[in-house]
């Protein structure tokens, strides 16, 4: 019996006769990606603990974790939420608006970074220095962001 | 799993049929989730903006390093990975419930809905423990030249940069935005998990009462499933932004 027998809007009914193999495969894939992420997280922890941490390496690891997270998001949306099984119109109406995030993330992180630079140079009037650490604790407590 | 075979010459936009080949309710659920994604996205991006604007931020491996009943053992990432796996697993049981719904197998739907609800409650319990631990756990902080004991709250952050004081390293107050964002975003996500559990309980009761068998389809389970998977999806990003990087 078709699962959508009561929905006249649907022109073509999906074939749900397949098994659960794909679901379990996705589960293992997500688990493996998560374990890799955790391993990278611990690697970052150990790099930070050591003498003279290599910041480029940490940044690279963080980038890898971001990419792995996007892969996880893809599998959850495509397989678990069945978006990959929908027709192209449906996929596009969801995915195209989400492209706004590309601008959203770049613009605002850029803004945050520029904010830091302005503060560290007093809006360009002195040399770049991070004096937050040297400030007495009382002033820092009052500095709210 | 499902595949939909569609002829290429179908006139999707000529009216009389859904151009998305999906019911109204399902399309609207997707639009709701998309708008919710922007809400969470705005929260996380604003967190990122503040974090980028700071010279110092807290080290998540230092803040989230405890585990229930493990005392003061240093176990970075352990508890949060447990929470992540609980949520991934409850996502799997949810998609299995949807699968059983496609096959009109009421007993199967009931079984997997119960497992999903248990997973949701387990996750919420973990979060309650983590919040309690952060709000009550005290840390030494150097404030105005003397040591104070601070909890992590929306107004206090005891994980600032470390300085030497009386021959040992002591933390100074960190940016208070950390606590605010942490409790705001995990709280908003936890509220979504909570409402997801309520929705799943309602769906379980409706399944048990045979409503979906009378209706002839289990599409409500699918829609509840979309919401539940979205909660898992958001956690993937919260996990990334707060615990990993």
Which of B102, B163, B213 is the best substitution to test chain A (most A C-beta atoms within 10 A)? B102
Contact B63, B77 (CB under 8 A): no
Task: Identify which of B10, B222, B240 has the shortest CB distance to residue A66.
Answer: B240
According to the model, what pLDDT value does residue A131 have? Answer: 63
Helices B177-208 and B24-52, interaxial angle, to 10°?
Answer: 160
- Host H or E run for residue A126: none
Interchain contact, B143 vs A141, CB within 8 Å: yes
Interchain contact, B53 vs A119, CB within 8 Å: yes
Question: Which residue's entry shows tokens 């009561």?
Answer: A6
Identify the closest residue of chain A to B55 by CA–CA distance: A130
| Residue pLDDT, tens place only, B217-243 | 999 999 999 999 999 999 999 999 999
According to the model, what pLDDT value does residue A135 have? Answer: 47
Tokens of B234: 């958001």
SS3 A37: helix
Task: Identify which of A69, A133, A137 has the shortest CB distance to residue B237.
Answer: A69
Interchain contact, A100 vs B38, CB within 8 Å: yes
According to the model, what pLDDT value does residue B4 have? Answer: 66
Chain A residues whose CB is inside 8 A of the B46 CB are: 108
Task: Identify which of B24, B53, B142 has the shortest CB distance to residue A9.
Answer: B24
Task: Identify which of A31, A62, A87 has the shortest CB distance to residue B21.
Answer: A87
| Cα of A17 to nearest chain B Cα, Å | 7
Q: What is the DSSP letter of A144?
A: -
CA A96 to chain centre: 18
According to the model, what pLDDT value does residue B191 have? Answer: 97
Residue B163 β-bridge partners: B170
What is the C-alpha radius of gyration for chain A, rounded to an integer number of angstroms? Answer: 24
Left, alpha or beta for B58 (phi > 0: left; psi -120 to 50: alpha)?
beta
Contact B79, B130 (CB under 8 A): yes
- Check residues A142 and B62 and name the one with the higher pLDDT: B62
Report which of B190, B241, B228, B16 is spatially closest to residue A109, judged by C-alpha positions.
Answer: B241
List the domain boundaries for chain A.
1-98, 113-145
| pLDDT tens sequence for chain B (245 residues) | 456 667 777 888 888 888 898 999 999 999 999 999 999 999 999 999 999 999 888 888 888 888 888 777 788 888 999 999 999 999 999 999 999 999 999 999 999 999 999 999 999 999 999 999 999 988 899 998 889 999 999 999 999 888 888 888 889 999 999 999 999 999 999 999 999 999 999 999 999 999 999 999 999 999 999 999 999 999 999 999 999 98
Identify the closest residue of chain A to B95 by CA–CA distance: A80
CB pairs under 8 A between A and B: 229
Report which of A31, A30, A41, A16 is spatially closest to residue A74, judged by C-alpha positions.
Answer: A30
Interchain contact, A23 vs B27, CB within 8 Å: no
SS (H, E, C) chain B: CCECCCCCCCCCCCCCCCCCCCCHHHHHHHHHHHHHHHHHHHHHHHHHHHHHCCCCCCCHHHHCCCCCCCCCCCCCCHHHHHHHHHHHHHHHHHHHHHHHHHCCCHHHHHHHHHHHHHHHHHHHHHHHHHHHHHHHCCEEEEECCEEEEECCCCCCCCCCCEEEECCEEEECCCCCHHHHHHHHHHHHHHHHHHHHHHHHHHHHHHHHCCHHHHHCCCHHHHHHHHHHHHHHHHHHHHHHHHHHC
Identify the closest residue of chain A to B86 by CA–CA distance: A31
Q: In what order do the strands lie in the sheet with B139-143?
A: B146-150, B139-143, B168-171, B162-165
Tokens of B47: 């967190």
Interchain contact, B76 vs A45, CB within 8 Å: yes
Rounded distance between C-alpha atoms, residue B241 and residue B245, angstroms = 6
Length in residues, chain B: 245
Interchain contact, B61 vs A44, CB within 8 Å: yes
Rounded distance between C-alpha atoms, residue A81 and residue B223, angstroms = 9
Interchain contact, A18 vs B172, CB within 8 Å: no
Task: Identify which of B3, B52, B217 has the shortest CB distance to residue A109.
Answer: B52
CA B47 to chain centre: 16
Contact B232, B145 (CB under 8 A): no
Select B24-244's CATH number: 3.50.50.60, 3.40.640.10, 1.20.120.80, 3.90.1150.10. Answer: 1.20.120.80
Helices B219-238 and B24-52, interaxial angle, to 10°?
Answer: 10
Contact B115, B90 (CB under 8 A): yes
Interchain contact, A112 vs B51, CB within 8 Å: yes
Task: Identify which of A27, A112, A130 has the shortest CB distance to residue B53.
Answer: A112
According to the model, what pLDDT value does residue B5 have? Answer: 65
Contact B197, B3 (CB under 8 A): no
CA A111 to chain centre: 19
Interchain contact, A12 vs B5, CB within 8 Å: yes
Identify the closest residue of chain A to B213 by CA–CA distance: A3
Task: Identify which of B10, B42, B215 has the shortest CB distance to residue A11.
Answer: B10
Question: Which residue's entry shows tokens 């922890």?
Answer: A45
According to the model, what pLDDT value does residue A12 have? Answer: 82
Chain B residues whose CB is inside 8 A of the A77 CB are: 229, 233
Interchain contact, B30 vs A108, CB within 8 Å: no
Helices A100-120 and A88-98, interaxial angle, to 10°?
Answer: 10
Rounded distance between C-alpha atoms, residue A107 and residue A112, angstroms = 9
ipTM for the predicted complex? 0.90
């Amino acid at each position: 019996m078709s699962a959508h027998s009561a929905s006249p809007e649907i022109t073509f009914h999906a074939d749900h006769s397949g098994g659960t193999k794909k679901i379990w495969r996705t589960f293992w894939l997500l688990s493996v990606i998560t374990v890799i992420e955790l391993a990278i997280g611990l690697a970052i922890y150990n790099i930070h603990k050591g003498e003279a941490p290599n910041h480029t390496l940490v940044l690279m690891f963080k980038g890898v974790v971001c990419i792995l997270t996007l892969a996880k998001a893809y599998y959850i949306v495509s397989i678990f939420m069945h978006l990959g099984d929908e027709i192209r119109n449906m996929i596009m109406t969801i995915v195209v608006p989400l492209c706004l995030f590309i601008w959203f993330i770049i613009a605002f992180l850029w803004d945050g970074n520029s904010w830091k630079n302005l503060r560290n140079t007093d809006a360009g009037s002195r040399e770049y220095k991070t004096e937050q650490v040297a400030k007495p604790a009382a002033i820092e407590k009052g500095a709210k962001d | 799993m499902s595949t939909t075979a569609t002829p290429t010459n179908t006139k999707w936009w000529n009216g009389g049929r859904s151009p998305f080949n999906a019911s109204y309710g399902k399309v609207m659920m997707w639009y709701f989730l998309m708008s919710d994604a922007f809400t969470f996205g705005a929260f996380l991006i604003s967190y990122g903006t503040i974090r980028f604007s700071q010279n110092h931020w807290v080290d998540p491996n230092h803040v989230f390093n405890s585990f229930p009943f493990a005392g003061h053992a240093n176990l970075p990432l352990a508890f949060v990975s447990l929470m992540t796996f609980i949520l991934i697993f409850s996502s799997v049981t949810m998609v299995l419930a949807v699968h059983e719904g496609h096959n009109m197998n009421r007993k199967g739907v009931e079984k997997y809905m119960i497992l999903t609800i248990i997973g949701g409650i387990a996750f919420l319990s973990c979060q309650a423990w983590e919040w309690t631990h952060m709000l009550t756990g005290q840390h030494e902080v150097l404030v105005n030249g003397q040591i104070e004991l601070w909890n992590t709250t929306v107004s206090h952050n005891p994980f600032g940069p470390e300085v030497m004081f009386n021959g040992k390293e002591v933390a100074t107050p960190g940016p208070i935005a950390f606590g605010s964002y942490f409790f705001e975003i995990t709280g908003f996500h936890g509220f979504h998990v909570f409402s997801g559990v309520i929705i799943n309980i309602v769906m379980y009761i409706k399944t048990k009462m045979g409503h979906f068998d009378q209706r002839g389809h289990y599409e409500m389970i699918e829609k509840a499933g979309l919401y539940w998977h979205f909660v898992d999806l958001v956690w993937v990003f919260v996990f990334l932004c707060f615990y990993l990087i």
